[in-house]
Structure 1
Amino acid sequence: MITHSLFFRLKYPIGSPEEHTFFNALAKLSTISGVENFTILKQISQKNEFDYGLNIEFENQEAFQTFHQNPHHALFFKIYWPDFVEDCMELDFEKADLVDIPN
């Protein structure tokens, strides 16, 4: 399982029409084949400068690569990301089987 996470701050105020436009476009990425557990997050503390997050899971590296090569993904990042996002951090992780964690 691969977890793809983006944490970001928009150029526009929280609750603005631009914010609404951005998140409607972002949500359409959830329909790309291989996307699992698509979750948009909002910050609830002041521990960092990001207001929002996005978590997506992929079953394997192939699904992860397919997502990144999808034309809808490329178009979103060409049209919306540069005009709407002020700052971001991207994290990509896979499960590390370092210890047995009890259920």
Structure 2
Amino acid sequence: MNPASIRHMVIFDLKYPAGSPEAEKFLQDGYDALTAIPVVRHFEVHRQVSAKNDYDYGFSMEFDSQQDYDTYNAHENHVAFVEERWKTEVARFLEIDFKQIK
């Protein structure tokens, strides 16, 4: 990761039971929609396993620059996924964005 890059992460719970077919479909659909955005790098889907945290899932990805991150946020795939799926199927979430300092 270069110093201009941004690592974007979101941890979340769905309104469906963890591991359910509905949850798995949401994760796959998120992967498909968001990895189709050209500026998205290193997209990963995670299942949370720590006893120190009670969220179920996570998405993480990287952007080469703030401009790429802004492009992602405005991209039609991201906007549609948020409006049509995220807002209706996610119970709660925490979003974090990092830049490397060392």
**TM-score after normalising by structure 1:** 0.88
Mapped partners of 1:61, 1:12: distance in 2: 33
SS of alignment partner, residue 101 of structure 2: coil
Compute the displacement of 1:61 (Å).
0.7
SS of alignment partner, residue 92 of structure 2: strand
SS of alignment partner, residue 80 of structure 1: helix
Q: Could you tell me the percent identity over the aligned residues? A: 35
**Residues 86-97 of structure 1 aligned to structure 2 (within 5 Å):** 86-97=91-102
Compute the displacement of 1:20 (Å).
2.1
- Counterpart selection for 1:4 from 4, 8, 22: 8
Number of corresponding residues: 97
Deviations 1:67-90 (A, max 9, x none): 111011000000111221111000
For the aligned residue pairs, the C-alpha RMSD in angstroms reads 1.0
Aligned to 1:57: 62
Mapped partners of 2:60, 2:75: distance in 1: 17
**Residues 58-73 of structure 1 aligned to structure 2 (within 5 Å):** 58-73=63-78
Q: Which ranges of structure 2 fall in alignment gaps of 5 or more residues?
A: none
**TM-score after normalising by structure 2:** 0.89
